[in-house]
Structure 1
Amino acid sequence: MPDRTAQDGSQTGAGTRANSAEQPWPVRSVAIKVAQWIDRLGSIWVEGQITQINVRPGTRTAFLVLRDPSADMSLSVTCDPDLLRNSAVPLQEGSRVVVYGKLSFFTGRGTISLRIIEIRPIGIGELLARVERLKALLAAEGLFDPRLKRPIPFLPTTIGLITGRASAAERDVLTVARNRWPAVRFEIRNTAVQGPTAVPQMLAALAELDHDPAVDVIVLARGGGSVEDLLPFSDEALCRAIVAATTPVVSAIGHEPDNPLSDFVADLRAATPTDAAKRVVPDAAAEVAGVRELRARTAAALRGWVDRETEALAQLRSRPVLADPLRELDLRHQEVERLRTAARRCAEQLIRTESTAARHLREKLTAVGPAATLARGYAVVQRVTGPERHVVRTIDDAPAGSQLRIRVADGAVTAAALGTQALGAEHTDTGRN
């Protein structure tokens, strides 16, 4: 193994020899160095809760144990017995105090003790002021926000109960809950509910129940008491543990006027432990009565619906369209026949009108047509030139000797042009024979 030379606190000066496996320090050297280092800390103010007071008659030293209210940690304290006797407020186990002194390391026993020269009890007014400041802090962090509240299950199968051993709160919760729902089960954790050990024990019980998957809701219950007795339920560590829990927590502390901070951070606040049992566990008799009432209301509603639908069907069946289904078809058939007759009449009228108009047009056409003209004595003269025929419109179209075809009303006459004569001429043009 390589040598491990102590650093920092292993040397107190340039003349101190190095520490190694070959040159270890004796216990006295280590104890003296620890005492020297602790002595450098100087005098300090410490706040805590007195859990033990030991004043032996005839001695000049009183022994106390000062515990942190929010953690399972304590510190030995010594002082002059007169300091306790002359205190303005009588000191007893559970009192919250602020002390001033200096830490000392006793080399003979290897223990640390706080030797105090001043002790100040923390009055109830100051404690309440601290609670109010903590309340404002937690509210500013949003830990009282209703949106953070988790819903309480309607019918929890297992309820975690944190309360004092053989307490009235435990008896009330169990009795009321089992009377309301006999099948409910409990996981009970008996802890201190006041005094210096209350908060650490409740924190451990809360963590244990929160990690139990069978527990559906946790009830934190305590009966009534003085303001000092209820202070553990306003502890910051407990409040934050309640918020951090994944299982819904119900706070049932004291009586109606009591409002520790656990009531504000819990998911449900109950006025008393009895009220907590009523709000967490449903009443079996009331639920059965409610089911019966709902069944009766459902049956009545169903019968009413059937009656209404039956009446509606009867009204539908009594209507003419359903009483005589073919009646509408007959009416529509008559309507169709009437429309067909009207359409045929209109069509015939239109045909007669158009036939008359066509006859008139035909008569007009006949009157102005070539056949009618020929019948009045006119003729159509055509010059025949090979296979083609040309209508003679002027005398120039039929010079002498032209072969002509003369169409009359009943046929045609073939002729030859002997000559031409202009309209209004009195003698035959000899040049055109």
Structure 2
Amino acid sequence: MTTPPHANRTTSDASRGNNSGNNSGNETGSQPPREGSTAEHPWPVRTVARKIADWIHRLGSVWVEGQVTQISARPGTGTAFLTLRDPAADVSMTVTCPAPLLREIEPPLREGARIVVFAKPTFYLGRGTLSLRASDIRPVGIGELLARIERLRRLLAAEGLFAPERKRRLPFLPKGIGLITGRASAAERDVLANARARWPAVCFQVVNTAVQGVQAVPQICRALSTLDKDPAIDVIVIARGGGSVEDLLPFSDEALCRAVAAARTPVVSAIGHEPDSPLLDHVADLRCSTPTDAGKRVVPDVREETERVHQLRDRARRALHGWVDTQCRLLDQLRSRPVLADPLGPIQRRADEVAVQVERGRRAVLATLTREQTALAAARARLTALGPTATLARGYSVVQFRDPAGNLRVLRSVSEIAEGAPLRIRVADGVAHATAERTDGDDR
């Protein structure tokens, strides 16, 4: 928000009020209560109300900004009542002020106006209600509102809500279109009339809401949420006719802009006329200059699409005829070639080539097999000559004994066995078993 020209005075007054309230709270909170409340000795309502009032009355005056939602100033009364609402949240407070103070404001206040009040919180014992007692009321001017919108524009742009890459394309032919606009408004008629003139079968779901004033933003947000959850809606259009800067303020509201950015359904903004550019135009997926333009852009033109279909059919017909003519000419050329006079000749020549290649392959395979068989016989002979069987056949034998673990081992030294050890002697044609009677050393 833009700091009002009286910001310094506002800060100092609010600081004094808050400091006085905090100091009082610290002083009171540091002392134990003189009288405790129990279930047997509860406090009366008047005592609780008085204590609450004492705390609230210690608070200082503060500057408060909000939007006027209700004004009650009856003739002949000295006090006027206002309801001040937070533009960005569902929070409101009652403000009382002297009736002459309200009458002195030029131009007169009306519902929906933005104001800044200098007020002190007040608690009324009789009704147990909290309100603000205003001693100064200052309307927020157009320049101030425009400056705030510009600051909000920079904030949303920095967060990426205006980025082109996050904007979604509208479907070519939406099965359902949601329209949020004022009741029986010219914007509603323009959108419906132009859309149905272009595509008579288009289906609209119209939700009428306030499009200016304090109720506009909450109602539009609720309607947007309802349409966004409807699976039959492919596009949502928010439309309003032209108006003053104050009338179009709801469409630059931060809450509405963020709701549109969070919507899963593409949103079309059609607010005011071409020069009007609320923040909703930058956040929406498509910005239309007028409601009439929105009716033309959300659906295609049935006449244009019919003409396009006829053109595509003509192009397809010409392309198919051209392809058939080309294939017919190619077939005629194939018929006129000499090869077709003797269709079996090329096949026979290919068969002879295949037979030759088969014979060559057979001879190559036989040669390879003969060569490999010869090499295998030579390797077998070498293996037989070097193997233990051939050695045993020459009169040698292999003597084995069992180690303590019971495994057969080849006897390589007499020191490995003792007298009486069982032996296993393997010769070329079998195995013989023996017993060592004695063991002698090398007798060479």
- For normalisation by structure 2, the TM-score amounts to 0.68
1:255 lines up with 2:273 in the alignment: yes
**Alignment CA distance shift 1:56-1:298 (3 Å):** same
Once the two structures are TM-superposed, the CA of residue 251 in structure 1 deviates from its matched residue by 0.8
Residue number in structure 2 paired with 1:148: 166
Q: Report SS of the residue matched to 1:166.
A: coil
Counterpart-to-counterpart distance in 1, 2:47 and 2:31: 13
1:171 lines up with 2:220 in the alignment: no
Q: Report SS of the residue matched to 1:257.
A: coil
Once the two structures are TM-superposed, the CA of residue 154 in structure 1 deviates from its matched residue by 1.6
Match of 1:237 among 235, 240, 255: 255
**Alignment CA distance shift 1:261-1:323 (3 Å):** farther
**Alignment CA distance shift 1:283-1:99 (3 Å):** same
1:281 lines up with 2:299 in the alignment: yes
Q: Which runs of 5+ in 2 are unaligned?
A: 1-25, 348-444
Residue number in structure 2 paired with 1:137: 155
Match of 1:32 among 42, 46, 50: 50
Residue number in structure 2 paired with 1:111: 129
Counterpart-to-counterpart distance in 2, 1:295 and 1:74: 63
Residue number in structure 2 paired with 1:198: 216
Once the two structures are TM-superposed, the CA of residue 23 in structure 1 deviates from its matched residue by 2.2
Once the two structures are TM-superposed, the CA of residue 316 in structure 1 deviates from its matched residue by 4.2
**Paired residues for 1:301-316 under 5 Å:** 301-316=319-334
Which is greater in Rg?
1
Counterpart-to-counterpart distance in 1, 2:235 and 2:90: 26
1:122-166: per-residue Cα shift (whole Å, max 9, x none)? 111111111111111111111111111122122211211111111
Residue number in structure 2 paired with 1:22: 40
**Alignment CA distance shift 1:305-1:56 (3 Å):** same
Counterpart-to-counterpart distance in 2, 1:41 and 1:152: 54
Counterpart-to-counterpart distance in 2, 1:225 and 1:96: 17
Counterpart-to-counterpart distance in 2, 1:242 and 1:256: 21
- For normalisation by structure 1, the TM-score amounts to 0.69
Counterpart-to-counterpart distance in 1, 2:235 and 2:302: 18
Once the two structures are TM-superposed, the CA of residue 101 in structure 1 deviates from its matched residue by 0.7
**Paired residues for 1:10-409 under 5 Å:** 14-319=32-337
Residue number in structure 1 paired with 2:364: none
Q: Is the deviation greater in 222-231 or in 301-310? A: 301-310
Counterpart-to-counterpart distance in 2, 1:194 and 1:323: 89
Q: CA RMSD in A?
A: 2.7
Alignment size in residue pairs: 324
Q: Is the deviation greater in 248-257 or in 174-183? A: 174-183
Once the two structures are TM-superposed, the CA of residue 110 in structure 1 deviates from its matched residue by 1.6
Q: Is the deviation greater in 26-35 or in 310-319? A: 310-319
Identity of aligned residues (%): 67
Counterpart-to-counterpart distance in 2, 1:133 and 1:290: 47
Counterpart-to-counterpart distance in 1, 2:206 and 2:41: 57
Q: Report SS of the residue matched to 2:76.
A: coil
Task: Give the residue type in structure 2 aligned to 1:196.
Answer: V
**Alignment CA distance shift 1:15-1:75 (3 Å):** closer
Once the two structures are TM-superposed, the CA of residue 324 in structure 1 deviates from its matched residue by 7.6
Counterpart-to-counterpart distance in 1, 2:34 and 2:231: 59
Once the two structures are TM-superposed, the CA of residue 61 in structure 1 deviates from its matched residue by 1.2
1:187-217: per-residue Cα shift (whole Å, max 9, x none)? 2221111011111111111111112222211
